[in-house]
Each structure stands twice: as structure tokens, then as C-alpha cells.
Amino acid sequence: MNFTVPEETLEIINGLKQFIDKRVIPLEEENAELLYNERNYYLENGRRHPKVERLRKEVRMASAEAGFYTMFGDKELGGEELGPITALLTQEAIAKSYPNRKLIDPVVIPSPFTNGITPVLRGLKQELKDYYLDGIRKGEKTLCFGLTEPDAGSDVWGIKTKAVKVNNEWVINGTKQWITNAPYADYCMLFAVTNPELHEKRKGGITCFFVETNSEGFNVDSVIPVMGELGGDAGIISIDQLRVPEENIIGELDQGFTKAMHGINNGRLGMSGKCIGSAQWALKQAIDYANMRKTFGKTIGEHQTIQNMLAESAMDIYAARNMALHCAWKIENTKKQPVKEISMVKAYCTEMLGRVYDKVIQIHGGVGVSNELKLEAGYRYARILRIPDGTSEIHRRTIARSLLRGDLNFN
Ligand SMILES: Cc1cc2nc3c(=O)[nH]c(=O)nc-3n(C[C@H](O)[C@H](O)[C@H](O)COP(=O)(O)OP(=O)(O)OC[C@H]3O[C@@H](n4cnc5c(N)ncnc54)[C@H](O)[C@@H]3O)c2cc1C
């Protein structure tokens, strides 16, 4: 395996950084009072302020125009299909250089499978592609991925949302929760049971529908505020007699679950890249502080316990980075999805980020828990990431099942 960063990837990262410095950072600075004061950022009901939404749209559309927004999307959907190594390294570089920013992640590059030209959309009928894809590619329109329900998270077979066929339409009823971007999205990839028998046997029976969120019967009732925030990104959706035409089925009838998994691994790897970048930024803050802050007549970096925390963080980052790169390399070179390895990478990288932030905050003492250094924002982000895209426990289950089936391959 060659660990040299490809020249083309470096050029992309440099171009993206120039774009962010020129187009996004000035916008952030001009609107700092809106973006970095939670009381302004969110409305009373927990939704982002419409002005924030306008800024996000402006950044998305500028990123699309500059060619960054769709660069990891499939070619058949109008993307550049830059491979997993470039995706991983780009996410790492952005998280490392622009940590915990409001208008950068996941605005400049959308979350790889829940928004933008997600691979799930490969299953759209051509007519719908012709009609909808352009707005999604341009960053004008956004999506959400509606699978989880109050009684179905890790165990997605537990979904109860039902679609019943009436003439040439499907009538859908149910509830979805924890749907990222639902309060703001134009379209939803909505999962519902279409064949109760198959579903009961866990052999299919779930279908994915493409839905316009302003349709009658589709309502985002509330936003779920997350750890320490006054609002959030994820919403609870109620679906009441929603009518969806037959042609809006994404992929095959009753095969939506396969569709749901399509592309989810891109998301997991991208998320891991962000963790690796963010952890490096945090460690750098700790090193700078350890070299500057003095106690008992010397810098705290001279105390061995502090050195241990720095060293352990570096070991953790190194392990995570090489593990993720190896996995990306494997995907790029075999064109297969190594399920066990992706689970190891997602669980390890998200947990590593939590461990690193925890130590970095400790090294900073009191100032570490203040809101000023954005360390607490990174810590909260790290804590959240152990849940979506498969919890740490579910990934361990996947890994263990592969092992028990005899997959002892570590190459
Ligand atoms: C910030 C955020 C964004 C999200 N975005 C989306 C989205 O856009 N679209 C979407 O559809 N969903 C989304 N989700 C939902 C997410 O996928 C689920 O929260 C996740 O799958 C866990 O489901 P749950 O919350 O119902 O927990 P549960 O499944 O109820 O799990 C509870 C606990 O039990 C553990 N557990 C469950 N089963 C097992 C098992 N077999 N073995 C061992 N432990 C087990 C879990 O790991 C967890 O610790 C999001 C969640 C969050 C937090």
C-alpha cells in the first residue's frame, strides 16, 4: 500500500481550502453574531433561523458552482466520483483546518449518503432524475433520509410506517424520528413497509419512496435539540395519508432496505475522516497549551501525566488514521465494501475522537470546559457520532459476526 497522498488529491484539498478562505470564512465573520450565538442561531421552536438557512444555501450553491459540492457523488448522477481515499483525506483536511465551524461541515460538502447526490438516488426513475437532480446538484435543494422511527433504530426491521397501494398511488402513514435535515429538506427518501409478510420474515417488504416534503400529509412536527444546543438538525416527521405516485419508488418495490444500505458506507468513511482531522486539530491545541501554561515552576508539558495524555492521543490518532486509510485503499482497489473493516473504522474513529477531546480538555484545565476554545463543541460532536450511522455496539456486533463466520482476514 502506498501512503503518499496523490498529487490530484492535494490539488483538490488546496483548491477547497482556497474556496473556503475566500468565500466561506468572510461570510462566517460577517455573520458571527448570528452563527455563533445560539440564541440567534435557533428560533424558539429549535429550528435554525431562516437567515442561517439562507447562508447555508449560499455556501452550498457556491461550492457546487466551484465544483466541490458534488465531487464525491456518482458519475451517473452528475458527480465526479473521486474515490474513497480522496474523500477521506479531504474530510480530514477540512476538519483539521476549520474545526467546529457552522458553515463548513456538512455544508460545503454534503453528508455522503443522506444529502446531495447520494448513491441512493441511483434508483430514481430517469424522468425523476431529469426533473429533480439538477436542483440537488446545484445545492439549491436538499434531502433527508427517513428510516428511523420511535420503535426502530438499530433494528430497522422494526419500522411500522406503512404504505398501501390505492390505484396507481401509495398511501403512507407513520412516524419517523431523528431524521437529519428533515426540518429544512426539500425532499425525503422515505422508507415504509409495502409487503407485511416479507417484512415479518425480515426478507424484504420495505420500499424507499422519493417524497417532496411540502406534500400534503408530510409534516415535520418538531426538531430534536441535541447535547447542549438550543435546537437541532434532526426532526420528527408525522406522515398522515401521504399520497405518493408509483413512479416515485426508488429502486425496486420491497427492496428498500438494500437501498438504505447503499452508500451508507461512504458516509461512515467520510465521518471517520472528519474524526481524524478534528482530533489532530484538538491535539495541536493541547500541545500549544502544554508548551505555554506553567504550574509548579515549569510548563505543564514537562509533567509526565500531561505527556502521557499527549502521547496516548497521538497513538490513537495514528492508529485511526492508518486503519481508515487502509480501509479506503481496500475499497478503491477491490471495488468491494469490506463490511467488517468499515465497522471497525467507524467505531474506532468516533470513539478515538471522544478519547482525544476528553484528554485535550483535561490538559486545558478550566479553560478547556469554557465555550471559548470550541473544545466543548468538538467534545459534544464526538459524543454524538457514536450513535448515528450504526451505534458502536451495532458495529461490534457486525465485526464479531464476521469473525464468528470465519473472516479472520486483516489484509
Ligand atoms: C444525530 C443523529 C442523527 C441521525 N440521523 C438520522 C437520519 O438522518 N436518518 C435516520 O433514519 N436515522 C438517523 N438517526 C438515527 C440513528 O440511526 C439511530 O439513533 C441509531 O441507529 C440508534 O437507534 P436508537 O436511537 O433507536 O437506539 P436503539 O436501537 O434503541 O439502541 C439503544 C442502545 O442499545 C444498543 N443496542 C441495540 N441493539 C443492540 C444489539 N443487538 N446488541 C448490542 N447493543 C444493542 C444500541 O447500541 C444503543 O446503545 C440519527 C441519530 C442521531 C443521534
Mark which of 85, 110, 135 sits at the end of a domain: 110
> Ligand 1 in contact with 178 (CB < 6 A)?
yes
Q: Of all residues in the chain, what percent carry a pLDDT higher than 90?
A: 91
Task: Encode pLDDT of 5-36 as tens digits.
Answer: 999 999 999 999 999 999 999 999 999 999 99
Do 291 and 244 belong together in one domain? Answer: no
CATH, residue 91: 1.10.540
The torsion defined by the Cα of 236, 242, 245 and 248, in degrees rounded to 10, comes to 0
Residue 301 has pLDDT above 80, yes or no: yes
In whole angstroms, give the CA distance from residue 240 to residue 152: 19
| Residue 122 is assigned to a structural domain of this protein | no
Task: Encode pLDDT of 183-232 as tens digits.
Answer: 999 999 999 999 999 999 999 999 999 999 999 999 999 999 999 899 99
pLDDT at 258: 79
Residue 140, classed as helix, strand or coil, is coil
CATH, residue 158: 2.40.110.10
| Residue 126 is assigned to a structural domain of this protein | no
> Ligand 1 in contact with 387 (CB < 6 A)?
yes
> Ligand 1 in contact with 156 (CB < 6 A)?
no
Q: Take residue 13 and report the three cell numbers written for it.
A: 484539498
Cβ atoms of 136 and 179 within 8 Å: the answer is no
> Ligand 1 in contact with 218 (CB < 6 A)?
no
Distance 226 CA to ligand 1 centre (A): 14
| Residue 279 is assigned to a structural domain of this protein | yes
Q: Which atom of ligand 1 is nearest to the CA of 144?
A: 8
Ligand 1, atom 20, lies closest to the CA of 153
| Residue 274 is assigned to a structural domain of this protein | yes
Q: Which atom of ligand 1 is nearest to the CA of 156?
A: 21
pLDDT at 1: 80
Task: Encode pLDDT of 98-148 as tens digits.
Answer: 998 999 999 999 988 889 999 999 999 999 999 999 999 999 999 999 999
Cβ atoms of 221 and 236 within 8 Å: the answer is yes
Task: Encode pLDDT of 263-287 as tens digits.
Answer: 777 789 999 999 999 999 999 999 9
Do 400 and 270 belong together in one domain? Answer: yes
Do 222 and 343 belong together in one domain? Answer: no
pLDDT level of residue 262 (50, 70, 90 thresholds): low
> Ligand 1 in contact with 188 (CB < 6 A)?
no
Do 276 and 367 belong together in one domain? Answer: yes
Hey, CA dihedral for 196, 200, 205, 209, is it positive or negative? positive
The backbone torsions φ and ψ at residue 140, rounded to the nearest 5 degrees and listed phi first, read -75, -40
Cβ atoms of 314 and 360 within 8 Å: the answer is no
pLDDT at 265: 76
Mark which of 215, 233, 256 sits at the end of a domain: 256
| Residue 322 is assigned to a structural domain of this protein | yes
> Ligand 1 in contact with 206 (CB < 6 A)?
no
Task: Considering only CA atoms, give the Rg of the chain.
Answer: 22
The backbone torsions φ and ψ at residue 389, rounded to the nearest 5 degrees and listed phi first, read 60, 35
pLDDT level of residue 248 (50, 70, 90 thresholds): very high
Ligand 1, atom 25, lies closest to the CA of 153
Residue 261 has pLDDT above 80, yes or no: no
Q: How far apart are the first and last CA of the chain?
A: 10
Do 273 and 397 belong together in one domain? Answer: yes
Give the residue numbers spanning the domain of 284.
263-404
Cβ atoms of 346 and 271 within 8 Å: the answer is yes
Mean pLDDT of 352-379: 95
Mark which of 256, 287, 302 sits at the end of a domain: 256
Q: Is 173 exposed, middle or buried (0-12, 13-18, 19+ CB in 10 A)?
A: middle
Q: Take residue 113 and report the three cell numbers written for it.
A: 449518503
Instruction: Count up the domains in the chain and report the number.
Output: 3
In whole angstroms, give the CA distance from residue 268 to residue 152: 20
